[in-house]
Amino acid sequence: MPLKENLNWARSKVVRSILGLFDLLLIIPFLLVSFLSRLLPRKIDVGLGPEPLINNVYHKKALVKRGYSAETFVSNVYFITDEFDYSLVRWRSIILARTFIPYWLFLRCLFKYRFLFIYFNGGPLWTTPILRRLEPFFYKLAGIRIIVMPYGGDVQVLTRSRNLHFKHSMSIDYPQFRKLRESVRDGVDRWTRHAEWVISGCEWVDYMYHWDTLMLGHFSIDVDRWDPHECRSNKVVKEATFKILHAPNHTAVKGTQALLNAVKELKEENLNIDLNILRGLPNSEIRKAMISADLVADQFVIGWYAMFSIEAMAMEKPVLCFLREDLIDLYLKAGLVAIDEIPLINTSILEVKDRIRWCYFHRAELAEIGKKGRDFVLRHHSTEAVGGVFADILKRLGLHSHGL
């Protein structure tokens, strides 16, 4: 190991040891504070965090529409959005303050929320070395009910994956992810056992061994924000160029190279195609780019759809996306979709060129696919639809909405 890496490793080990000692000192105080918080009233029904996902923004809207009070909270933000109610981002520039952010957020949750919607990497204490393992017990002592759901990397125990090509792609995009296998596995087990309610969906079912609610995916979207009106206005003048939009956050997992190869070969066939690949842009910029797109290319490896496909469908855009047959079979048998209801153009990584060629020569049919996509989102992924599922869960757990 080079000297610089050796020193960095030694320093990180020292820091972890110091934080571990600090965690040990906090166990008894946190047990006492958790019990004390149980005795005091909490003003907000649901807290959503601390993962800075745009889904939490939409989930809050879904809950509010159903008559619940809700608040999003984060310690950090991604480039996608910063639309969170309570954020400690400004404190992350101060190293000492950054160290105490998880503890402060946890204490704040104890006295703020009746329920917490979190992901499988845990609540605010997920970055702490010892207290993260005790976090479920703190919440039980405090009387806070936990609803847990996946988002991706928080549940992807790759030894459980049925998709060998996905394993291969993850090894390319995230070679260090292999070092997190045990912590991811432990997180899935910890919160499956201790949460009051477990939600699953997408291809996440590969990695999970129990769920109380199965959804196509818990992703919700503000359909008013992703309105197709501007797209329709934009199509008044038809352009000869066929515009494809692709926005990968990880290129191997999305199958970006296959898309590049397909477009290159189709251009050699004299097809007038413009491929627009966007990375690292906020959600608002992706939306602007989507207005002029004729076709949206999502992913060709994972085997199910997620937020990018939903955003495109909401704007009546036809979408190329790979759907695994075994997952389609599951959701059909679970009664969540009807046969041929999902209006995505199912595209494996070996079919990208043929699917794009078909779309290029069948543009009139793409418009009908786009309209079906909007209808599908309204039924399954609007804040109203997802809010209905969440409200049902909360009612089963004893929390009823205010005045609805």
List the chain pLDDT tens, one digit each, 404 residues.
343 443 343 446 666 777 788 899 999 999 999 999 999 999 999 999 999 999 999 999 999 999 999 999 998 888 777 889 999 888 776 766 778 899 999 999 999 999 999 999 999 999 999 999 999 999 999 999 999 999 999 999 999 999 999 999 999 999 999 999 999 999 999 999 999 999 999 999 999 999 999 999 999 999 999 999 877 655 544 568 999 999 998 999 999 999 999 999 999 999 999 999 999 888 889 999 999 999 999 999 999 999 999 999 999 999 999 999 999 999 999 999 999 999 999 999 999 999 999 999 999 999 999 999 999 999 999 999 999 999 999 999 999 987 55
- Give the right CATH number for 27-220+385-396 from 3.40.50, 3.30.70, 2.115.10, 1.10.3470: 3.40.50
Intervals of CATH 3.40.50.2000 along the chain:
229-379
- Give which of 297, 301, 303, 304 is closest to 353, Cα–Cα: 297
> Tokens in use for 352?
């990208």
The residues pairing with 382 across neighbouring beta strands, listed in sequence order, are: 221
Q: What's domain 229-379's superfamily in CATH?
A: Glycogen Phosphorylase B; (3.40.50.2000)
The CA distance from 9 to 7, in Å, is: 5
- The answer for residues whose C-beta is within 8 angstroms of residue 122's C-beta and 6 or more apart is 132, 135, 187, 190, 191
- The H-assigned helical ranges of 84-154 are 95-112, 131-142
Tell me whether the omega of the peptide bond preceding residue 150 falls within 30 degrees of 0, making it cis: no
The CA distance from 293 to 283, in Å, is: 16
The CA distance from 106 to 96, in Å, is: 17
> Tokens in use for 15?
């820091």
Report the predicted TM-score, pTM, of the whole model to 2 decimal places: 0.92
